[in-house]
Amino acid sequence: MIDKTAIIDPSAKIAKDVHIGAYSIIGADVEIGEGTWIGPHVVIQGPTRIGCHNKIFQFASVGEIPQDLKFKGETTYLEMGDHNIIREFCTIQRGTVQDASITRIGSYNLFMNYVHIAHDCVIGNHTIFSNNASLAGHVKVEDYVNLGGFSGVFQFCRVGAHSFIATNSVVIKDVPPYLKVSGYYAKPYGLNTVGLQRRGFTEETMMQLRRAYKIIYRQGLTVAKAIEELKKITCAEVQPLINFIETSNSGIVR
C-alpha cells in the first residue's frame, strides 16, 4: 500500500491499510489512521495526527510550520479527524505558541484546490471550502459552513454554523450562525436558506430564524437591544445565535 518511492520517517505511525502514493514524504511525528488514502507528491510534516478514512490528493502540504514570523521552531501540532477530503495544492499548517499551539480540523470536511488553512485555525465538521478559499490565523469555523471560491477570512474571526460565505467575499467581522454574507467587505444578505433547507430545518424554525434576522438587521437596534429581543423568541435554534453574538470579540457583520 506504500509506493517504493515514498519517503517515510521511522517515527511515523501509519495504520496497516494506509495507501501512500509515489514520491510522497511523511515526516517525523506523523500519525495516520486506518483507511486513509494519500496520493503522489504529498508532503505531511509533524507533529501531526490524521484520523481515519481521509483522502489527501497530490501536491497537498499538510502539517508544515506556520507562516508566522513569531514562530521560532516551537513544538506545535495539527490534528485532523476522519473522512476529510483534501484536494490538490491545499496548505494546512500547524499552530503557534501564541495561541493553543494547535490547528484542529474536525471530520467530513471538503477542502477543494488551493485552499489555505493557516496556523491555529479551528474547523468543525461537514464544512465545504471551495477553490482558493483561505483562512488567516486563529480563525474558528463552525459546522456546516460553506465558503465560496476565492473568499477569505481575517485573523481571529469566527464563522458561525450553517452560514454561507459567497465567492470573492472578504470577512473581517464575525459571521453569526445561519447567515449568508457577500462582498468586500462581507455584509449580511439574509439567511442561508438553501443550506438550512438541506440540513432539514423545519418551516416553523425557518420562520423564527427570519424573525431573529429582522431583529438584528432590520429594526435599527443596537446589538445589546437586539439580544434582549432575541431572548423573547421561544425557539431552540435561536439560542446558538444569541450565544454567538454575546461572545463575539471582533463584532458581527452589519
- Here the CATH number for the domain that contains residue 113 is 2.160.10.10
> What does the pLDDT profile of the chain (254 residues) look like in tens digits?
899 999 999 999 999 999 999 999 999 999 999 999 999 999 999 999 999 999 999 999 999 999 999 999 999 999 999 999 999 999 999 999 999 999 999 999 999 999 999 999 999 999 999 999 999 999 999 999 999 999 999 999 999 999 999 999 999 999 999 999 999 999 999 999 999 999 999 999 999 999 999 999 999 999 999 999 999 999 999 999 999 999 999 999 99
Same domain, 203 and 117: no
For residue 206, is it within any domain?
Answer: yes
Same domain, 126 and 20: yes
Q: Which of 102, 83, 111 is nearest to 140 (CA)?
A: 102
CATH number, domain containing residue 216: 1.20.1180.10
Please pick, among 51, 81, 95, 119, the residue that the annotation labels catalytic: 119
Same domain, 16 and 99: yes
Same domain, 15 and 123: yes
The pairing of strands 179-182 and 187-191 is: antiparallel
Same domain, 126 and 209: no
Same domain, 127 and 209: no
Q: Quick one: three-class SS letters along the chain?
A: CECCCCEECCCCEECCCCEECCCCEECCCEEECCCCEECCCCEECCCEEECCCCEECCCCEEEECCCCCCCCCCCCEEEECCCCEECCCCEEECCCCCCCCEEEECCCCEECCCCEECCCCEECCCCEECCCCEECCCCEECCCCEECCCCEECCCCEECCCCEECCCCEECCEECCCEEEECECCEEEEECHHHHHHCCCCHHHHHHHHHHHHHHHCCCCCHHHHHHHHCCCCCCCHHHHHHHHHCCCCCECC
Same domain, 110 and 208: no
Same domain, 133 and 201: no
Q: Which domain holds residue 20?
A: 7-138
Q: What is the CA radius of gyration of the chain?
A: 20
Residues 6+ apart with CB under 8 A from 138: 99, 118, 119, 120, 121, 155, 156
What is the structure's pLDDT at 56? 98
For residue 254, is it within any domain?
Answer: no
* C-alpha cell belonging to residue 17: 491499510
Domain count, the chain: 2
Please pick, among 51, 106, 137, 160, the residue that the annotation labels catalytic: 137
Please pick, among 99, 120, 143, 174, the residue that the annotation labels catalytic: 120
Same domain, 119 and 204: no
Domain stops at, among 111, 138, 165: 138
For residue 251, is it within any domain?
Answer: no
For residue 65, is it within any domain?
Answer: yes
For residue 171, is it within any domain?
Answer: no
What is the structure's pLDDT at 154? 98
Q: Is 138 a catalytic residue?
A: no
Q: Is 9 a catalytic residue?
A: no
Q: Which of 46, 45, 60, 196 is nearest to 117 (CA)?
A: 60
